């Protein structure tokens, strides 16, 4: 996987290109530490890793505005369509060998307050503590006919499963509130799906999992319920999944972007949990506030970058630009065109910094 698009690469001498490519890789690693994380001193064993928040930072690696823009363009150049998806293992933070497993994480948050648990979720995922299958983005295609009759296809790229914490052999799909989801989406240069994309993901998924609701009540938000539902879902997947890294859907409700946020900006909008392609258990709903999360929720990330194909001519575009386009919004929305005020404020803030 290369950061520079092929037409550009073809015009660069191979030796110069290799130097330039290595520079961009280092630049991307530096970008991850900008304003979000610190370079820690002394993280040499598991004890230090688990207490990393108490370790004095060496300082933050800062990038000027030009480098931030350039880093974003590098990501755009890496968005090459593939039957297997996009491997972001070199762009997202590596998982530490001392990181908590999914089981250990749930034990560590068992006695925490709701707010402390959310903070712990964000801390683990931003540090790279998630299984490797989440580093492969899967292509999702949507179609429409243009005004002049041209065939238009948009390929967005989404995580193969819902966000999880832990290792490849021991992980837990972790629900979270809207604020945590937005924070993680920013860090990974991604956004949340729309209702139309959730439907498309389910239809195009290789592994369709039947919903398994649990008894409603106050316990729905407990870590115990999170763990119990994850075990149920994993047993289902183990029975029907044929290959690793397949696109999986149907086992959670999605937190989504929606025009409902224009009337209820403090809400969290959820949708999905498909019985089949036409019948999700959860219709589009904004009944809960943005701080709410329960065992049935899942976070699937959609890359900021997509590929627009108009009659065979492909162009790199941004997901949010398509949502706001007067002509192309039907590719990703069945609620109408999105306006800038419909995007979470934290996402707008990140774009303004870049």
Q: Are residues 189 and 336 in the same domain?
A: yes
pLDDT score for 52: 54
pLDDT higher than 50, residue 327:
yes
Share of the chain above pLDDT 90, in %: 64
- Structure-block tokens of residue 345: 């404020």
Q: Are residues 212 and 348 in the same domain?
A: yes
pLDDT score for 8: 36
pTM score, whole prediction: 0.76
Q: What is the mean pLDDT of residues 152-164?
A: 97
pLDDT score for 278: 78
pLDDT score for 342: 72
Give the pLDDT confidence of 7-49 residue by residue, as tens digits: 333 443 444 444 444 555 555 444 444 333 333 333 345 555 5
Give the pLDDT confidence of 263-302 residue by residue, as tens digits: 999 999 999 999 887 789 999 999 999 999 999 999 999 9
Domain boundary among 12, 46, 78: 78
Q: What is the mean pLDDT of residues 193-202?
A: 97
Domain boundary among 54, 78, 102: 78
pLDDT score for 78: 43
Give the pLDDT confidence of 55-114 residue by residue, as tens digits: 433 333 333 443 443 344 344 444 444 444 666 656 788 999 999 999 999 999 998 999
Distances, alpha carbon 119 to alpha carbons 169, 191, 202, 300, in Å: 24, 19, 30, 19
Q: What is the mean pLDDT of residues 230-243?
A: 95
Q: Are residues 48 and 29 in the same domain?
A: yes
pLDDT higher than 90, residue 244:
no
pLDDT higher than 80, residue 351:
no
Q: Are residues 87 and 74 in the same domain?
A: no
Q: Are residues 198 and 266 in the same domain?
A: yes
Q: Are residues 52 and 109 in the same domain?
A: no
Q: Are residues 256 and 175 in the same domain?
A: yes
pLDDT score for 11: 40
Q: Are residues 55 and 103 in the same domain?
A: no
pLDDT score for 51: 57
Q: Are residues 168 and 46 in the same domain?
A: no
pLDDT score for 332: 97
pLDDT score for 147: 80
Q: What is the mean pLDDT of the chain?
A: 80
Band (149; pLDDT cuts 50, 70, 90): confident
Domain boundary among 40, 63, 78: 78
pLDDT score for 56: 39
pLDDT score for 192: 97
The domain total for the chain is: 2
Which structural domain, as residue segments, surrounds residue 224? Answer: 83-353
The span from the CA of 45 to the CA of 97, in Å, is 9
Q: Are residues 71 and 93 in the same domain?
A: no
Helix 102-109 with 114-126: angle, nearest 10 deg: 150
Q: Are residues 324 and 262 in the same domain?
A: yes
Q: Are residues 87 and 139 in the same domain?
A: yes
pLDDT score for 200: 97
């Amino acid at each position: 996987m290369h950061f520079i698009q092929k037409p550009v690469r073809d015009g660069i001498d191979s030796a110069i290109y290799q130097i330039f490519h290595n520079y961009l890789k280092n630049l991307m690693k530096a970008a991850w530490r900008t304003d979000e994380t610190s370079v820690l001193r002394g993280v040499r064993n598991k004890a230090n890793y688990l207490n990393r928040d108490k370790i004095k930072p060496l300082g933050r690696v800062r990038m000027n505005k030009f480098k931030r823009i350039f880093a974003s363009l590098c990501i755009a150049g890496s968005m090459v369509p593939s039957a297997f998806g996009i491997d972001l293992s070199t762009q997202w933070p590596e998982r530490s060998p001392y990181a908590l497993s999914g089981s250990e994480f749930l034990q560590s948050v068992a006695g925490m307050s709701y707010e402390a648990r959310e903070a712990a979720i964000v801390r683990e995922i931003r540090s790279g503590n998630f299984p490797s299958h989440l580093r492969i983005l899967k292509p999702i295609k949507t179609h429409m006919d243009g005004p002049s009759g041209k065939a238009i296809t948009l390929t967005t790229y989404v995580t193969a499963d819902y966000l999880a914490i832990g290792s490849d052999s021991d992980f837990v799909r972790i629900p979270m509130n809207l604020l945590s989801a937005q924070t993680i989406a920013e860090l990974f240069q991604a956004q949340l799906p729309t209702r139309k994309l959730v439907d498309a993901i389910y239809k195009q998924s290789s592994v369709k999992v039947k919903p398994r609701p649990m008894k409603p009540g106050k316990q729905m938000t407990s870590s115990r319920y999170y763990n119990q539902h994850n075990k149920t879902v994993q047993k289902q997947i183990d029975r029907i999944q044929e290959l690793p890294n397949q696109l999986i859907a149907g086992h959670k409700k999605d937190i989504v972007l929606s025009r409902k946020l224009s009337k209820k900006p403090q809400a969290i909008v959820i949708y999905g949990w498909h019985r089949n392609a036409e019948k999700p258990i959860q219709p589009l709903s904004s009944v809960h506030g943005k701080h709410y999360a329960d065992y049935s929720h899942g976070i699937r990330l959609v890359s900021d970058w997509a590929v627009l194909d108009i009659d065979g001519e492909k162009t790199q575009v941004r997901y949010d630009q398509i949502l706001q386009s007067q002509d192309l919004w039907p590719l990703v929305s069945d609620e109408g065109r999105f306006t800038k005020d419909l995007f979470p404020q934290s996402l707008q803030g990140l774009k303004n910094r870049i």
